[in-house]
Structure 1
């Protein structure tokens, strides 16, 4: 059967999916996908998988995709991050029998993506992206799709999308934010960019961004003309979003935990999901937050979730009819509802904005979380280079130099191997071996061998280089 493309692929293989769960690292695992499908999701993506690791590590493939066959988990798109056409295609060939399409991640804005040179940090390298998509389109038996972020300029975003379409992309997901818009700096996604892309390309388009409820989904489709809408954070805080429901948190938490027992996943994934599902309740019953963070078993996580349910039921019994939700919440804390990020500089955010991308890479204007933790343990610690003591360096070994540095003497360097001024002691493995054998009674001294003799230098080096 020939490979379906474009709208045929979307309508037949994907069943005309309109409600889509986004690829989320450590969060869109099988158990969560099954929960989302039970509550209105029509298409799911795997978490972003690293193509190079997927190719070389059989355990990684087994843990992330080669698990037990689950007919409920279709249609499914596997997403990879990659920056090499050959590696991307090799990974895709290993995955294509377990999914309905392969997606190339061009939208991840995180620092790990910058360091690894993938995701949104490839969006300026159009020649490379063309080669990756063209090779995948040629070699794979399933369609190749892309998830992108926008440029600040609408016309450049449109040309970017058209380039990917011409290279062989069969479906495009457009996140209406730039790669700089993340965390507290996320802001509002631009549906104008998404609308312009949809009008300019001849393949199906999914929109991503600004989705907190079913009304947002419908409004997005109406305003942009896209074929489907993808949700990430909205889905994490309310997996029933696509049903248009906002059930009690414990209803979905208990259902998710039941699925996890059938389809196990790392406990860190489960804990992260419950932190989001119970997010608003944990602001009220903060003593249970630490308990949820510390539990080491699925039974322990279940017990904390049950304790949160009991606290919520006590709150409901004390609630009076005229009582309004605390803070700015649209519903009471025990109801599944979106989390709205505080705006940059708002009082809720402490008047602080997240450090810019350059500052994350080493600026001293702000301290990283790790440095803040170190400072809590040692209040007198400073990270200002100008306040650190200066030491003269030894010209020979580079260590801090003192007045009686051994290297400054006229002794031949081969006569001693102990450098007392730097506290360094060098010994070869052979010297250590001979010293040890000297303490063991009954062991013979090793025979001396010449460079050309069997077992000599030439043979040893040859085996080391083989």
Structure 2
């Protein structure tokens, strides 16, 4: 038995344990995931307006955060963790050195409710830097990282992990993390290899297995396979977890955490959502991140841009753009959506399809409304339906433009006739 599998040693500073902390934070059910350059303050404010109960910061590099004042100021500004606008908040770090992790965490412990260790990042940069999911085989190091914060930090420590192919190994891994001192455990139901076009479906069964074999007072969040608002309760029921965390689902449709009601609440128009986000960015103190804005614009508009293709290139040229450039883009989106509604026969309905093998049903959503993004799954193109929608939308756009052109031609002919009569 290694140190990693032993229970928490020594006594930690007096602070709330898992279930107590969970209740103090209001028993959050809907959680914004930590996302590099994307779960920044403005996005968290937007997400909270649309039903998010708890937010995580983007993943910060512990060594850089602890040693570079410039990096720290760029990543965590004066309003991050503000008691009135940015709580409850968990700050996430990636690290492979306990002392570096503690030094970074000490700098934020008075401005957050907990500090999270990233054990889930599967990207190549994490492999190179030896952090995230590439620590999964080094249980002793993980134990030291978590236990260091558990024993020496004012606020609780939490962790976000991925699963192994073997559910029993995943359970032992989760137990080690909890025993090291983690008060919340987020389980992403995918393995390290499941990323990009190999993402596939998250395994809710393995999340449920782990949850049911951990102590009952353990707080567990589920992550993966949440496309629609209705999926949140379904995920909690099927995994028996305390809450659901969303990353991509939240990015493509910030209204995913709203209670299921109607299309305007659950699938808001892209022009309205884009305007709301942009106004928050302008009102938020500190320098706005063009990287974050560009990414959010692309994702909010992901179903809109294949139809309104000229906007894609325009957004692509915004790397160093000022607010005036962004404002023009938002206005163009507003004008284009307004043009759609000028058609009295526009089909603005959200249609629920038949139940799929994965247990849910896709929705056919108008391309000018926020909606989930579908990846390829097990070699099958899951976004075939979306492609069809976009094709139909493009054809409808051409028809509108043609009709508009016909009206213009008619007006021109009438004008020419009047001129001829006057002459």
- One of 332, 339, 343 as aligned partner of 2:377: 343
Give the alignment of 1:7-406 within 5 angstroms: 7-12=19-24, 14-68=25-79, 70=82, 71-202=84-215, 203-244=218-259, 245-263=266-284, 264-295=287-318, 296-318=321-343, 320=345, 330-343=364-377, 345-346=379-380
Residue 318 of structure 1, CA deviation: 3.0
Tell me the CA shift for residue 319 of structure 1.
Answer: 6.2
Task: Give the Cα–Cα distance (whole angstroms) in 1 for the partners of residues 295 and 110 of structure 2.
Answer: 30
Query: Which has the larger share of strand?
Result: 2
Shift of 1:247: 1.1
TM-score, normalised relative to structure 2: 0.79
SS of the counterpart of 2:376? coil
- Cα distance in 1 between the residues matched to 2:66 and 2:331: 41
For the 8 Å contact 2:162–2:189, the answer to whether it is kept is yes
Partner of 1:284, secondary structure, is coil
Whether the aligned pair in 1 keeps the contact of 2:163 and 2:189 (CA below 8 Å) is yes
Q: Is the 8 A contact 1:325 1:332 kept in 2?
A: yes
**In 2, distance between residues paired with 1:39 and 1:24?**
18
Q: Gapped runs of 5+ residues in structure 1?
A: 351-466
Return the alpha-carbon distance in structure 2 between the equivalents of residues 162 and 89 of structure 1. 22
- Report the Cα offset of residue 312 of structure 1: 2.1
Whether contact under 8 Å (2:200, 2:376) holds in the other structure is no
RMSD: 2.1
Contact 1:89 1:136 survives alignment (8 Å): yes
| Mean Cα deviation higher: 264-273 or 309-318 | 309-318
**Structure 2 SS opposite 1:314:** helix
Q: Contact 1:162/1:200 (CA < 8 Å) preserved in 2? A: no
Bigger-Rg structure (1/2): 1
Question: Aligned equivalents of 2:257 and 2:380: distance in 1?
Answer: 31
With the length of structure 1 as denominator, give the TM-score of the two structures. 0.72
Q: CA deviation at 1:308?
A: 1.9
Distance 1:229 1:161 in 2: 17
Which one scores higher on RCO, CA 8 angstroms, separation ≥ 6? Answer: 2
Q: Could you give the per-residue CA deviations for residues 121-145 of structure 1, whole angstroms, max 9, x where no partner exists?
A: 0011001111111111100010000
Superposition deviation, residue 322 in structure 1: 6.2
1:305 Cα offset (Å): 2.1
Q: Which moved more, 1:240-249 or 1:122-131?
A: 240-249
